[in-house]
Amino acid sequence: MNISETAGPEPVNVAVDLEWQDLRAAIKAGWADFKAMPVYGLFFALFYMLGGIALYFGLVSKGQLLWFIAAAAGFPLFAPFAAIGIYEVSRRREAGESVSWPAVLGALRGRGNGQLSAMAVTVLIVFGFWVVLARGIFAIFFSQSGIGQETAGMLLSGQGLAMLAVGTVVGALIALALFSVTVVSLPMLLDRDVDFVTAMIASLEVVRQNRKAMMKWAALIAVVLFVSMLPVFVGLLITLPVLGHSTWHLYRRAVPADG
């Protein structure tokens, strides 16, 4: 296996030869984990789904359509954190350890060193920046309409469609940046005693060394999560656990355990 070494206080070896077959193998292994122990995945996915539903009714019912669109576009950014317990299920099954609720829920603290919390704060800050930026883009296109007066008709107008196009490009770039620093770092923080900066560097290195495969993985996640959110977020009950388990197995392939 070809290996590349990342810079940082604690170098991490990463694979440089990921291919589509590795993504398929990760999905197959993730599906097997979900079928073997579905209750854990359903539990975490349920909370994530309910969060999306609350977001919808809390904003759309108050006429804040654009706020909802911006929040919904950034909602998938938190999916990796919702899947931390799911990573732990896959880790324990892989290691032959017993899987129990105390162990799985305890994984939400990470390794007890505060690194997962630091990552969560980082993503939360970026999410807040995205929401503010989305409102700024709206203000640029509808400077005469006033913030908070948006309607579905406005968003489907020529200006509205142009605004959505610009917002989609900007949002996609932000999402891609966060994907690059979290796709490997979150499973790694659960698996290894490293700081979150080292984990983020390793994640970036995996994406840099395997651009084609990781861009396919990012596109797959984006499409699956988007489609799953359409029927009132119900599809997330299946797709979130499967993607979570699959991400763990892809991490194992991307960052070899003997590295």
Report the half-sphere exposure of 16 (CA within 13 A, side-chain side): 10
- What's the average model confidence in pLDDT over 22-43? 96
- What's the average model confidence in pLDDT over 227-248? 89
Whole-model pTM: value is 0.84
Give the bridge partners for 5, in sequence order: 13
For the record, the structure tokens of 230 come out as 């359409």
Give residues with Cβ within 8 angstroms of 228, minimum separation 6: 234, 235, 236, 238, 239, 240
**pLDDT, tens digit (0-9, with 9 covering 90-100), for 185-227:** 999 998 988 888 999 999 999 999 999 999 999 999 989 988 8
pLDDT at 259: 44
Residue closest to 166 by CA, chosen among 136, 196, 204, 132: 136
- What's the average model confidence in pLDDT over 115-120? 84
> Is the pLDDT score of 87 beyond 50?
yes
